[in-house]
A = this chain, B = another copy of it.
Amino acid sequence: MMKISELAAQTGLSSHTIRFYEKHGLISASERSAAGYRYYNAADVRRAEFVKTARHIGFSLEDIGQLLSIRLDKQSHSCQEVTDITRHKLDEVNDRISELRFMQQTLERLLESCCGGPENATHCSIIEALDVGDVARDAEAVAAETDSESRSRRMS
């Protein structure tokens, strides 16, 4: 049975974060001392580590709540429920990557077009490009091409 700071050391979460997760129903201490100190047993530690791992992979606290309820009662849940959550998260991640690749390409094109030197910015091609405003559209076209090849969306 360990106290909160030991669990914190073990998991790499802060004590604050552990209490925060508890408030959100993700973690709990299976015992409390008379004075109210939290005491964690081995199962509590595993659960905390589950949360840590899931968080690291990018699941939201809400996702993790669902995964935990499945983990707690595996008989009553199907593998499909688990893959639904996972696939949905993968879709979100893929969408965000697409957006960021668009930004990446736009920024790279901007950098290529500008001398970047100590000259004054009177004819700076980056400022000009932002002024004209068609950077976005150009790069979006490029992004659209590479998009289909980079996407891993299932249509089921």
By a beta-carbon cutoff of 8 Å, the part of chain A in contact with chain B is 46, 49-50, 52-54, 56-58, 67, 70-71, 74-83, 86-87, 89-90, 93-94, 96-97, 100-101, 103-104, 106-108, 110-111, 114-122, 124, 126-127, 130-131, 133, 135-136, 139, 152
A131 near B86 (CB under 8 angstroms)? no
Chain B: CB-nearest residue to A136: B56
Number of copies: 2
Majority secondary structure of chain A interface residues (helix, strand, loop or mixed): helix
A54 near B86 (CB under 8 angstroms)? no
Q: Which residues of chain B are near A131, meaning CB under 8 Å? A: 46, 50, 71
CA distance A139 to B130 in the complex (A): 38
